[in-house]
Structure 1
Amino acid sequence: MKKIVLSLFIFFPVLLFAQEGRTILPQDLYRVENDSVTIDLDEVIVLKNRNFNDTKEKKYYYWYYKKVQKAYPYAVLASDKINELNEEIAKLPNNRKRRKFIRKKQEFFENEFADELKTLTRTEGRILIKLIHRQTGVSFYDLIKDYRSDWKAFWYNSSAKFFKLNLKSEYHPESDALDFIIEDILNRSFSNGSLERREAKIPIDYFQLNENWASLNFYDEINAYIEKYK
């Protein structure tokens, strides 16, 4: 499994709250010698505390919280590297030089991130595959197909299935309860500053999702996931 997760970068180098509100855009007003100066500050999103039915539900939520926290920075890094490499590849005159360039980047990522990525668990790997889609707008499977080949994408996905991973997985918090839990964790992490907010490449309205999933039982969903993949 760890080899499959590692392929995210090696084989695919181009890769609490006081009151609920929508979005608060604070402005500080200073008076300087009878003149008013308006300074726009960073956007602040205020959320109310997440309520749990019992201690067990809270425990399971924060177990998943830690998994999302670990996987998300790698998804952001992958998105950034894809953008950077696309710009560099576009400057190369032919496919031969592009392939050579990609191989060099492949070696760099293997040396730079192999040890870190080997520490990811299967759950963190599944979350990472989902977040790759959130941050790039393209599934990991399609990214491999675009940058390597149809055969590579098929082979990696077939290998991943032995570890109950699906490289074709997409991120749909509007219809998938676990994806919503990921989105909820991300937004709360952005708000408390534990993760840096990066805009998704797919349309997401967190506040609408929060209303739609208001009756969600986190324990039931996460426990069902654990039972499925244990």
Structure 2
Amino acid sequence: MKTVNSLFLLLLFSVTLSAQQTQKDSTQIYYLIGNDSILRTSLELDEVVLTGVKKDKDDEERKKFLLLQRRVLKVYPYAKTTADNLIMLQKNMAKLKSEKEKKRYYKIVENYLENEFEGQLKKLSRKEGQILVKLIYRQTGKTTYELIKELKSGFKAYVSNNTAKMFDISLKEQYNPFDVTEDFLIESILIIAFNESRLVKQPPANDINYAELSAVWKEKIEKSKAIKAAREANSSN
């Protein structure tokens, strides 16, 4: 994964380090896992309760969820750092007058972050890399492709995206927890982690209304249950 992770260094090279206070969120959210199986219609975000599961299928789904959880907890700090420091970079760059000063400052940051993060990023798997792309979009409001284009060049973004595709990663991937099941699960994992202070909360670039998100997935779950019930009724006739 050395080649792919070097793409993310392009983003981290564009930033300087900062920190943010830990916050908590007690929002409720609806939870869906798998195609039909439901762990619980609603849950308090300070705990995960597994109830009414079919052992074989849902144990497998639970394992998949826990794997996703581990991946999200691992890569979220990189996405947060990217967003935090992208803002810092823009502020510092605005204070510099000449292009020469900006290039010198950029090079200092680049060298520092290469030593700070390169070893850690090389350890990411392909799936963790794709989740990182999604979370970078969540925290910055821009795709990794767009950021590389702005910070480097359109050509660099094009080459980077084509290279990432060789590892089944799209740098143009967005984050949409309202429509994509995996993104919804990622958002659920983040909310729980923020509430438990396992991750430092950073607001997403585009506000996510958790009550609305919860309502959307409640409707999806109810529709899924109705469709399944109708199919079972038809098959028994």
Q: TM-score, normalized by length of structure 2?
A: 0.74
- The correspondence for 1:208, drawn from 203, 212, 215, is 212
User: In 1, Cα distance between the equivalents of 2:59 and 2:211?
Assistant: 25
Q: Which has the higher contact order (CA 8 A, sep 6+)?
A: 2
Shift of residue 86, structure 1, vs aligned partner: 0.9
The Cα of 1:11 is off from its aligned counterpart by 6.1
Instruction: Give the alignment partner of residue 139 of structure 1, picking from 138, 143, 146.
Output: 143
CA distance in 2, matches of 1:174, 1:99: 40
Give the residue type in structure 1 aligned to 2:171.
L
CA distance in 2, matches of 1:46, 1:114: 36
Contact kept? 1:183, 1:206, Cα under 8 Å: no
Deviates more, 1:95-104 or 1:191-200: 95-104
**Once the 2 structures are TM-superposed, how far is the Cα of residue 12 of structure 1 from its aligned partner?**
5.2
Q: Matches of 1:175 and 1:46 in 2, distance apart?
A: 19
- 1:116-153 CA distances to partner (integer Å, 9 max, x unpaired)? 11111111111111111111111111111111111111
Q: Which blocks of at least 5 consecutive residues in structure 1 are unaligned?
A: 16-41, 218-230
Give me the whole-angstrom Cα distance separating, in 1, the residues matched to 2:49 and 2:179: 20
Paired with 1:159 and 1:56, the residues of 2 have a C-alpha distance of 32
Q: Secondary structure at the match of 2:14?
A: coil
Cα deviation 1:184-226 (Å, max 9, x = unaligned): 1101111122111110011212232233224299xxxxxxxxx
* Other-structure match for 2:26: 45
Q: Would you say the 8 A contact 2:24–2:197 is kept in 1?
A: no
C-alpha spacing 1:198/1:12, structure 2 compared with 1 (3 Å): closer
Instruction: Please say if residues 139 and 169 of structure 1, whose CA atoms lie closer than 8 Å, have aligned partners that are also in contact.
Output: yes
Map 1:1-230 to 2 at 5 A. 1-10=1-10, 13-15=13-15, 44-45=25-26, 47=28, 48=43, 49-51=48-50, 53=53, 54-214=58-218, 215=221
1:11-41 deviation per Cα after TM superposition (whole angstroms, max 9, x unaligned): 65125xxxxxxxxxxxxxxxxxxxxxxxxxx
1:200–1:44 distance in 2 versus 1, CA, 3 Å:
closer
Aligned length: 191
Distance 1:176 1:117, change over 3 A: same
CA distance, structure 2, for counterparts of residue 65 and residue 2 of structure 1? 23
Q: Which has the higher helix share?
A: 2
Structure 1's 118 and 43: CA in aligned 2 closer, same or farther, altered over 3 A?
closer
Identity score, percent: 32
Q: CA RMSD in A?
A: 2.1
TM-score by length of 1: 0.76
Structure 2 unaligned spans of 5+: 16-22, 29-42, 225-237
Report the Cα distance in structure 1 between the residues aligned to 2:24 and 2:12, rounded to whole angstroms.
34
Query: Could you tell me how far apart the structure 1 residues matched to 2:25 and 2:164 are?
Result: 39
